[in-house]
Amino acid sequence: MKRYTILKINEIKTYRTGDNSIIIDRYLSLEFKKMIEIILERQPEITAEQIRDLIDEKKRKIGAGYLTDQGALFLVAADLGISFDNDQDNQTNISDLYIGAQDVNLLARAICIYPIRKYMRRDTNEEIQNRTLTIYDKSSSIKLRLWDNHVNFPDNEGLKPGDLIKISHGYVKSGIDNKPVINLGARGSIELSDEQTDIPLIDERTKNISDLKEPIENIAVVGYVSSNPRISRYTNFRNEPGKSLQIMLTNKEENISFRTIIWNINEEQIPEIFTKGSKIKLVGVKIKEGNPQYSSAQLEIHGDEATKIETIDYEERLDEGKVTILKIISNSTAEDSSEENFLAIDKDRNFVSVVIDQKLIDEELQTNNIIEGIPNRIFGNIYYFTNEDSFIRVIDEKDDASFPDNLELESKIKEIEISENPYLIEAIVLKSPNTSEVTLKSGENVIVTDTLIGDDTGEIRITGWREQSKMISKLVVGNRIKVIGAIATMGRENKLELTLKGFSEIRKIS
């Protein structure tokens, strides 16, 4: 097969084949180049320059404005008796696929399995379903879109990342990002395969954090969670709400770290024990250039709803998290909810948020109660006692000297800095609370209230959103208060402020 060398001179590309050369407009696409290769291979007596002349001649005969160079090339190929329809009969390399290819047959492994997507045709109101897989072979990776009855193939066959599949009679179209996408409709077929192949397994596409040097797509990454994971809400470009999982992922030595975001996360897919220190494997992520708005790192790790999160040494960590003894240090302020949220602390002075389904406990929890329980889920520093797989009970209604006293946990305002740990502050209200309505990017209108508090070391703004705004709105200037469980954040005007959370409490001191 004859090859092309591409030279860029003032955005003009020159394709050379043997002693022949042809200059082609800079906007020509990858599939156009592939089509030229096919013609030169099947008609070796024709030169690249002659193909250019045939394209120009065809456009002159048809008339200006009716054909692109690529459209004219289809007609030239037909005149030469060359069809591109069956070019992929024996295709095995994803890297050779081009937009417009027909009858695509190949072996590949799945790495990402997306949920079924449903939508309505505007003209007929007919419900349409499709499903996307990301697949790879030894040369490259590509999206595979399943239509018709094929959308149920992953579920019916129990398809997992790394499984080998055989695709027959697909066709390639352009995706939203203008990249090739294999489509599989009624004429096509897909099946699990046990053929011998040199397509690498997922483990061979897995990289450790220390090995990440440049952008790359559709790989697996192993690392350690070095920050408490958190879920954030966002609105996508279609104005649809979603949630993202955000963590810092580091190597074992903790000298290399990557900001990591899993977009459109399904919280049910997060492992039951997912905490700081967890060793995890992310299957189906890409390494991309970092966003200077959030960090100075050159690279970041990004995934989406098809990214699989695996916890390594999971059973060991599950055993670690089974039985826990905690001291309650704040009362819940939950309203119209079956779940209550408390702030608690363990004997090692670690703060945790405790979410409890009221049906699981017979008595009302009070400050300083000592509780014992088996959580059904641990996410970062949040312990969930929310279903029948969990157990919780009060083992001591009074304070326990083995836990730190609340006074030991209090801080002065001058000591506050941005931290994952909540603060306990004793202060005086210095300004009347200010309440306003804020419209979020999602379009939701929420109530926010703030005021200024101070102690003998300084002053700081404290803010409450939604339900937490009510705690601040009840305050008046001169109130002495204890703030229990506020988080330090960077607020308006780039100044440090305290923000109330679901487990926070404000007590007035008489």
User: Which CATH superfamily includes the segment(s) 408-509?
Assistant: Nucleic acid-binding proteins (2.40.50.140)
320: pLDDT confidence band, cut at 50, 70 and 90?
low
Question: Where are any strands of DSSP class E within 32-140?
Answer: 104-113, 117-120, 127-136
- Eight-class DSSP state of 115: P
User: Which CATH superfamily includes the segment(s) 94-192?
Assistant: Nucleic acid-binding proteins (2.40.50.140)
Burial annotation 49-64 (CB, 10 A radius, 16+ → b, else e): ebbbebbeebbeeeee
CA angle 201, 204, 207 (to 5 degrees): 135
Q: What's the token pair of residue 111? A: 């790495």
167: pLDDT confidence band, cut at 50, 70 and 90?
very high
111: pLDDT confidence band, cut at 50, 70 and 90?
very high
Report the pLDDT value the prediction gives residue 209, as an integer from 0 to 100.
Answer: 93
Nearest to 259 by CA among 280, 281, 290: 290
Q: What's the token pair of residue 186? A: 């009624």
Question: Which class is 207-318 in CATH?
Answer: mainly beta
Report the pLDDT value the prediction gives residue 479, as an integer from 0 to 100.
Answer: 92
Kindly compute the dihedral angle of the four CA atoms of residues 283, 286, 287, 293, in this order, to the nearest 10 degrees.
-110
Q: What are 389-417's pLDDT values in tens digits? A: 888 888 876 666 677 777 778 889 999 98
287: pLDDT confidence band, cut at 50, 70 and 90?
very high
Report the pLDDT value the prediction gives residue 316, as an integer from 0 to 100.
Answer: 54
- Find all residues with CB under 8 Å of 457, minimum gap 6, and list them: 412, 413, 414, 415
Other Cβ atoms within 10 Å of 333 Cβ, number? 18
Cβ contact 219:206 at 8 Å = yes
Report the pLDDT value the prediction gives residue 39, as an integer from 0 to 100.
Answer: 85
Q: Considering the chain, what is the average pLDDT of its residues?
A: 82
Report the pLDDT value the prediction gives residue 102, as an integer from 0 to 100.
Answer: 85
Report the pLDDT value the prediction gives residue 25, as an integer from 0 to 100.
Answer: 40
Q: Is the dihedral of CA 327, 333, 339, 343 positive or negative?
A: negative
Report the pLDDT value the prediction gives residue 200, as an integer from 0 to 100.
Answer: 93
Q: Answer with the residue of higher pLDDT: 103 or 405.
A: 103
Rounded distance between C-alpha atoms, residue 303 and residue 233, angstroms: 16
What's the average model confidence in pLDDT over 301-328?
78
Q: Is residue 89's pLDDT more than 70?
A: no
Q: Picking from 292-296, 306-310, 357-361, 371-375, which range would have the lowest pLDDT averaged per residue? A: 292-296
- Find all residues with CB under 8 Å of 264, minimum gap 6, and list them: 236, 242, 243, 244, 304, 305
Cβ contact 170:182 at 8 Å = yes
Report the pLDDT value the prediction gives residue 14, as an integer from 0 to 100.
Answer: 40
Q: Picking from 151-155, 311-315, 349-353, which range would have the lowest pLDDT averaged per residue? A: 311-315
The domain locations on the chain are 6-79, 94-192, 207-318, 321-396, 408-509
CA angle 317, 284, 217 (to 5 degrees): 135
Q: What distances in angstroms separate CA 208 from CA 60, 89, 192, 221, 509, one per listed residue?
A: 57, 38, 29, 6, 53
Report the pLDDT value the prediction gives residue 359, as an integer from 0 to 100.
Answer: 81
Report the pLDDT value the prediction gives residue 398, as an integer from 0 to 100.
Answer: 64
Nearest to 87 by CA among 129, 51, 35: 35
Cβ contact 250:286 at 8 Å = no
Q: What are 119-128's pLDDT values in tens digits? A: 877 777 788 8
- Find all residues with CB under 8 Å of 492, minimum gap 6, and list them: 461
Q: Is residue 152's pLDDT more than 60?
A: yes
Q: Is residue 271's pLDDT more than 60?
A: yes
Would you state the CATH architecture of domain 321-396? Beta Barrel (2.40)
Q: What are 211-253's pLDDT values in tens digits? A: 999 999 999 999 999 988 988 888 777 777 889 999 999 998 8
Q: What's the token pair of residue 407? A: 């006074």
Report the pLDDT value the prediction gives residue 419, as an integer from 0 to 100.
Answer: 84
Q: Is residue 324's pLDDT more than 90?
A: no
Kindly compute the dihedral angle of the four CA atoms of residues 340, 342, 346, 351, in this order, to the nearest 10 degrees.
130
Cβ contact 308:283 at 8 Å = yes
| Domain pair 321-396 / 408-509, same fold | yes
- Find all residues with CB under 8 Å of 362, minimum gap 6, and list them: none
Q: What's the token pair of residue 271? A: 């492992």
